[in-house]
Amino acid sequence: DGGITQSPKYLFRKEGQNVTLSCEQNLNHDAMYWYRQDPGQGLRLIYYSQIVNDFQKGDIAEGYSVSREKKESFPLTVTSAQKNPTAFYLCASSMQGQDGEQFFGPGTRLTVL
């Protein structure tokens, strides 16, 4: 089945450590996105990538980094510089040039201890 997978579902990290969240899609989508959701908040865009080897900062990129070495993969690293990293992280993808519709993965819940 085509879709987006994120792993792990739950992730715990000690304060001061970097952690990488995985996102893989087999939908042959060009564009991929990372969002963060906090309680009572909408989805806020962290980074997005329209094509392999290219990515752009979203609204809240500070403390995060990404790479896009393959079309299928868009990993997100939460660095120790991110001041409030505990959140629910969502990855999404879409066809380039399509009217906005994005398909989401199941999410990763990151908790910093």
Which stretches of the chain bind other proteins, using CB under 8 A?
A: 4, 6, 31, 35, 40-45, 48, 50, 56, 58, 88, 90, 92, 94, 96-107, 109
For the CB of residue 61, give the shortest distance to other proteins in the complex, in Å: 13
* DSSP-derived pairing of the beta strands 10-13 and 108-112: parallel
- Which one, 5 or 17, has the nearer CB to other proteins? 5
Instruction: Name the DSSP letter for residue 5.
Output: E
Looking at beta carbons only, is 52 or 80 nearer to other proteins? 52
Q: Which helix (H) or strand (E) holds 48?
A: strand 43-51
The distance of closest approach from Cβ of residue 76 to other proteins in the complex, given in angstroms and rounded to an integer, is 14
Judging by beta carbons within 10 Å of its beta carbon (0-12, 13-18, 19+), is residue 27 exposed, middle or buried? middle
